[in-house]
Amino acid sequence: TVCCQALEKQLKICGFKRNVDVLVLYLAGQGLRIVPSLSQFRRLRYLWINNNKIQDLTFLIKNYCLTELYLNNNELTDISGALKHLCALQILLLHNNQLKKLGKTVKELKGMISLQTLNLFHNPLAQDPEYRLYVIYFLPSVQLLDRKSVTQKERESALDLYNHERCSVMQSIAFGKRVNTPLGTTVGSSRCTQPARRLMMPSVWKHSDNAHSLCSFCRVPFENPEDAILLRAMTRSLMEFSSVDWNKIATCQERRLENKEEGPHEKLTIQFR
């Protein structure tokens, strides 16, 4: 077949005598429609197979070591079940194909935790209005998408769009941002003089007497998200520091020589919110 001839030609050009020595294969622009299994090249790392007419990717079923894969300018309509095992991929070019389903395509790539460069432009799925933010959110390792660097602002927008709850938590007091109204007090700021809103806990918490009880129901939803932030501030922002004057404490050698019983050590402890 055409593909087998192209493979033999490449192996002769590179002077490979054993399949295990093959790390690079260049099969671009050969007019290939069908490619036989490349599983014999189990250490293959770089594969150029772009600019062909390929519609099926089952020939990559055992090439786990691939780090760069160039599949652009082919006739691919679906990659489901064909690439998810390639966890070492760092560069994947799929532009100029016929991929239509954004969700299925991104799901196939989720296991590629090392993927840094990804091209999906000039596919029908790229017409989705939220396409870029969707890919950025569900494939967080990608740094270069469609030849354009992923910015921090885009990551924040994607987080706000697809996980608004987590975005709110990240902006809460536990991450360095103060709550606007102190719990159970009146705000004395010149900007705002209204009394603080009363914390409305879920009914399952109304009879809880300690922090352990609160933690045991930490997944009970609040009617108002601000209540969750206030409770987080109340239960997690307590800090304690203790200090001891080590100059007044005998060393092991001193205790043995003097044979004295030590009294309780003086310890200074400070707690604050």
pLDDT tens per residue, range 95-137 = 999 999 999 999 999 989 999 999 999 999 999 888 999 999 9
Of 107, 151, 114, whose CA–CA distance to 132 is shortest? 151
10-49 pLDDT, tens digit per residue, is 777 666 667 777 888 888 998 889 888 898 888 899 999 9
pLDDT at 8: 75
Rounded Cα gap, residues 192 and 161, in angstroms: 30
Q: Is residue 34 part of a domain?
A: yes
Q: What is the pLDDT of residue 147?
A: 95
Per-residue confidence (pLDDT) for residue 34, from 0 to 100: 87
- How many whole angstroms separate alpha carbon 140 and alpha carbon 212? 35
pLDDT at 36: 86
| Residue 212 to residues 56, 225, 235, Cα–Cα distance (Å) | 56, 22, 10
- β-pairing, 144-145 with 148-149? antiparallel
Both ends of the chain: CA-CA distance in Å? 74
Domain assignment of residue 33, given as a range: 2-151
At 10, give phi and psi (nearest 5°): -65, -40
If one compares 189 and 114, the residue with the highest pLDDT of the two is 114
Whether 182 is covered by a domain: the verdict is no
Is residue 94 assigned to a domain? yes
| Per-residue pLDDT, 263 | 66
Is residue 106 one of the residues assigned to a domain? Answer: yes
Count up the domains in the chain and report the number: 1
| 61-84 per-residue burial string, b: 16 or more CB within 10 A, e: under 16 | eebeebbbbbbbbbebebbeebbe
Q: Does 138 reside within a domain?
A: yes
Q: Based on the number of CB atoms within 10 Å of its own CB, is 225 exposed (0-12), middle (13-18) or buried (19 or more)?
A: middle
Q: How far apart are CA 201 and CA 220, in angstroms?
A: 9
| Domain CATH number, residue 31 | 3.80.10.10
In a domain, 167, yes or no: no
